[in-house]
Amino acid sequence: MSNLSNKRFLVFVDDIYEDLELWYPKLRLIEAGGIVTVAGPKAGAKYEGKNGYPCVSDAAIGDVAAADFHGVILPGGFMPDKLRRDPQVLKLIRDFDAAGKLIAAVCHGGWMAISAGVYRGVRVTGSPGIKDDLVNAGAIWEDAPVVVDRHFVSSRKPDDLPDFCKGILQVAGDK
């Protein structure tokens, strides 16, 4: 079992996030000893998942800094299409990339990394629905349950979450 004792992770949330893609990695990181902060547009706000599961944010996106975390998780759903327009989200993702810290995107979560401009030359996967977006952003597309390329971890869909979390633990454990 990976030991992520005292390693801190950021997870983004907003309405219509994919429930499993937020909760499964969050709980898996906690299980491995990590400390998880969920950040949304507002601190302490309740956001509803695509399937109706609520998530209360621990912090506001504008109040967090990549320097305080070992990695960031980008869940899917319809949420990424909204958050990819937030300049603070994009800055945070670029800061994680510049520091070589974990950036883990599942399904449509890759949209946020695309808009941050961090995928050029990176091997990734994601929802087949954003394959063209990934390729057009300069990413190297692979159709696989999980793709790990340096500090980047990506997966396609909720069914891939066990492999996605193994990739996250592999990269986070190395940092």
Q: Which two tokens stand for residue 18?
A: 């994919």
d(CA 147, CA 159): 14
Are residues 25 and 52 in contact, defined by beta-carbon separation less than 8 angstroms?
A: no
Are residues 7 and 171 in contact, defined by beta-carbon separation less than 8 angstroms?
A: no
Burial label, 170 (beta-carbon count in 10 A; 0-12, 13-18, 19+): middle
DSSP-assigned states of every residue in 42-94: STT-EEEBTTS-EEE-SEEGGG--GGG-SEEEE--BSHHHHHTT-HHHHHHHH
Q: Which two tokens stand for residue 78?
A: 């319809």
Q: 149: helix, coil or strand? A: strand
- Name the β-bridge partners of 124: 141
70 catalytic residue (yes or no): no
Catalytic residue selected from 70, 108, 156, 157: 108
Active site amino acids: 108
